[in-house]
Chains A and B, each alone.
Chain A
Amino acid sequence: MDFILQPWAWYIGGPLIAISLLLYFYFGQNFGASTNFETLCTIAGADKFSDYFKKDWKDRDFALMFVVGLIIGGFISAYFLTPDKSIDLNPKTVQELTDLGFTEVTNQYFPDEIFGEEAYFSLKGFLILIVSGIFIGFGTRYAGGCTSGHAITGLSNLEIPSLLAVIGFFIGGIIATWFIIPILF
C-alpha cells in the first residue's frame, strides 16, 4: 500500500504508459485522446456548423468509455491515491516561479495562480484557461494528434508527421513558458 501512495518515478511511469498503449491496440483500436474532442463536438450538435462533424459518434463509443475511465480515474487518484501532493521540483524552477509571484510552489499539483478559485473567477484567469483550451483543441485537431497520439504512438511508430508535430509542441511550449508566462504573471 505504501508504494501506491508514494509518487511514482519516471521509470515506472514510462513502461506503464507503454502498456496502456499496448492494451489499447490489443483491444483493437488506435491509442489517442484528442479525437474525443471531435466526438464530443458532434454529440453537442457541431454538425450544424460544419460537415466536418457529420460522423456517427457511436463508432467511437469505446473511446468515450476510455474518457469516462479517465474522469473516474482522476477522481480516484485525487481523493484516494495522492495524499501527498508535494512535488520534488528543480530548486531553480521553484526560485523562478517564486520570483514570478507563484506561492506554495512545491506543495501542490496545480498552481493557485491558474487553478485557484480567485484565479478562474477573475476575467484574466478565466481568459487564460479558455484561450489555452482553444489553442489545445484547435492545435491538436489541426496537427492530427496530441501527446498520446503523436508523441507516444506516432513517434514510436517512426511517423514523420508525428516528429514534426512534436517539434511544434515544443516550439509552442517553449514560447509559452519562456515568454508568455513571465508576461502573464
Chain B
Amino acid sequence: MKNIKFLILGIFFAIVLSKTQAISWYRFYEMFKFQSFHMFGIIGGAVVISMIFMQLFKNGKIKDINGNKIVPKPKKKGFVRTVLGGTFFGLGWGISGACAAPIFVILGFKLIPALILLFGALIGTLIYGVLSKKLPN
C-alpha cells in the first residue's frame, strides 16, 4: 500500500479546504466580486510559500522520498488554450462555486449536487478529449 500516503494527504487537503471555507460557494462569489481578502489571502499565501519550496526543489535542498531531484512538469504552452480554456473553467467555477478538488470534497457536504457537478465535469472532459486535436492551441 505505497499509495496510502496519498490517501492521507487527500484527507488532510480536504480538511484544510473545508476548515478555511475554500469550498464555499459564497467565498468564491466574494472573491470574484473583490469584496473580501479571504480567498486571495489563502491562494496568495499558498503561492508565496510554494515559491520558496520551488526554489528549494530547484537547488536540490529538498529531494523527493526516493532521493531524486524534484522537477515540476512544465505546463503546456499556448495562448488560446490557456486563456480560453481558463475562461470556460472560470465560468463554471464562478457559477457553481466549485473547482476541481473541491468537487470531490463537496460530495461529503452536498452529495447529489456534487455528483451532478462531477458528472458534468466528466462530460466536459470527454468533449475536450474528442475535440482536442481540432481546438486551437
Contacts and interface: CB of A to CB of B under 8 A. Distances in A.
Interface of A: 4, 7-18, 20-30, 33-34, 36-38, 40-41, 44, 46, 49-50, 52-53, 61-63, 65-79, 81-82, 87, 89-90, 92-93, 96-97, 105-106, 109-111, 114-115, 117, 119-120, 126, 128-162, 164-178, 180-181, 184
Contact of A154 (B37, B44, B75): B75
| A15, A40, A168: most-surrounded residue (chain B CB, <10 A) | A168
A37 B92 CA distance: 15
A149 B63 CA distance: 20
A14 to B, nearest CB: 2
Interface in B5-58: 5-33, 35-51, 53-54, 57
Contacts of B104: 33, 67, 70-71, 74
Contacts of A79: 108
Contact of B24 (A11, A110, A166): A110
Interface residues of A, dominant DSSP: helix
Contacts of A178: 32-33
| B20, B101, B135: most-surrounded residue (chain A CB, <10 A) | B101
Given A77-B14, A93-B26, A140 B113 contact: no
Contact of B6 (A63, A128, A142, A181): A63
B90 A139 contact: yes
